[in-house]
Each structure stands twice: as C-alpha cells, then as structure tokens.
Amino acid sequence: MSITENVRFAAQDAGEVSAIFLWPQNAECVLVLAHGAGAGMNHPFMTALANDLAAAGIASFRFQFPYMEQRRRVPDRAPVLTATIQAAVHAASEAAPDLPLFAGGKSLGGRMTSLAAAEHSLGDVRGLVFFGFPLHPPNQPGTKRAEHLDEVRLPMLFLQGTRDALADLKLLRPICAKLGAQVTLHVIEGADHSFHVLRSSGKTDEGVLEELARSVSTWTKKLTGQ
C-alpha cells in the first residue's frame, strides 16, 4: 500500500514545477528521482520504476525540470537543472524529514544530480543513484561527461546495461575503479540505455525494472545500516 501525493515546489528563478511523492507504508528511505532529457516524470519507465521502488520499500520524489513543465523540447542549461535538483532535494527532505535521503535519476537527470553534488551541496543526501549514466553521446565514446565525478564526495551507484550506446563499459569500468570504494557498478546483461532487453536474452523489461529496484534497495540498506 502506497500513498501518492501530487505536489509543486519552487525551482528558484524558473518558477514552480510539479512533483509526485510515492510513499509506501514501509518506506526505509526516499529517492529524489530526476527524469531523462526526452521524457518527463510521467513517462512509463519513470512510473514503473517508482512503483517497483515502492515495492522494495523506497519512497520516491520524482519531479519535472522547468523545460518539461513548460512543454519545451530543449533541456534547460545546466545551472537551471542543478538548481532544480537542489530545490527538489530540499522539498523531499521537508516532506519526509525522518527518512534517509538519496538522489539520482535517469540518464540526464542522473548526470545533472552528480553535477549538482559536485558543484553545490545536496544537504543530507547520503548517496547518488544513476539509472543509465550518459557517459557520452550515442556511439561517440568519450569520458568528458564524467570529469566532475572526481568532485563528488558521496557514495554512487551506477546501474548500466551492456547494450547502452551512451555508456561504453570499457570506458565506464576504469572510471568507477578510479573513483574507488565509494562507487558501486551494477551491470545488467543485455539491457540498453532504456533498460530494454531483447526477447532472445531470456529476460523481460519488467524483470529488469525489478532488478533495478532490488539493487537500489540492497545498496541503500548498506549505507543506512538497515
């Protein structure tokens, strides 16, 4: 049984944005969940992920970036995105002050969360979760997008598929190794950037979503001593 609450919060100079707080009765922590570049918080992936996280005992606070709230196609500049993430973290902390707080997101949302953590303070956030960290543009291997991760002083969980065209694991694995013990890399065999798996893999998209939620639950429990 979960409680769904539709809320709004101020994204600093960008106006108000919408958010959905999905709170299971057995919630052990809260994850502030940012969406990817091309789809908002109500995308089927985001909704299904939030539901599976709730089933695993994780409350989620997913929200819109200003450009998505205003139905614009082009993402806001990084300072607006990171400021919105900071505001979302503050709103989630006020909504559930007694629960451990984590932050992250899908693709762009995850990368901007790590940038916010590197350049600013994310308050009481205990760790970051990346659902498909976009290390480089599609099929254009590079590591520039990961340079700021050296400045992140929080534990990080990378959830990556082996068919992700935006994250060559041959490049991502050394980055994670260099960052050391604060990083956990969970690889999902056969998944692409959207965590879709081919039928020939023997897996299902639903099963992958459940695996993502279980992995996050296991990781957060270790960090919170539960």
pLDDT digits (tens, 9 = 90+) for 86-123: 999 999 999 999 999 999 999 999 999 999 999 998 99
Across the range 2-15, mean pLDDT stands at: 90
pTM higher than 0.85? yes
Q: Label residue 2 exposed, middle or buried (CB < 10 Å: 0-12, 13-18, 19+).
A: middle
Buried b (16+ CB within 10 A) or exposed e, 175-184: bbeebeeebb
**What's the confidence (pLDDT) of residue 16?**
95
Question: pLDDT class for 205, splitting at 50, 70, 90?
Answer: very high
- pLDDT score at 87: 96
> What's the mean per-residue pLDDT of the chain?
96
DSSP per residue, 77-140: PHHHHHHHHHHHHHHHHHHSTTS-EEEEEETHHHHHHHHHHHHS--TTEEEEEEES---SSTT-
Check pLDDT > 90 for residue 199. no
DSSP string, the chain: -EEEEEEEEE-GGG-EEEEEEEEETT--EEEEEE--SSS-TTSHHHHHHHHHHHHTTEEEEEE--HHHHTT-SSPPPHHHHHHHHHHHHHHHHHHSTTS-EEEEEETHHHHHHHHHHHHS--TTEEEEEEES---SSTT----GGGGGGGG--S-EEEEEETT-TT--HHHHHHHHHHHGGGEEEEEETTB-TT--B-GGGT--HHHHHHHHHHHHHHHHHHHHT-
Domain regions of the chain by residue span: 2-224
Which tokens belong to 46? 């985001």
Determine the pLDDT at residue 1. Answer: 76
Residue 142: per-residue pLDDT = 97
- Evaluate whether 29 touches 61 at the Cβ level (below 8 Å): no
| Domain 2-224 CATH assignment equals 3.40.50.300 | no
At 12, is the pLDDT very low, low, confident or very high (cuts 50, 70, 90)? confident
pLDDT at 124: 95
- At 26, is the pLDDT very low, low, confident or very high (cuts 50, 70, 90)? very high
| Model pLDDT for residues 28-78, shown as the tens digit of each residue | 999 999 999 999 999 999 999 999 999 999 999 999 999 999 999 999 999
pLDDT in tens, 113-143: 999 999 998 999 999 999 999 999 998 999 9
- Give the pLDDT confidence score for residue 14 in this predicted structure: 78
Closest C-alpha to 107, from 43, 58, 60, 61: 43
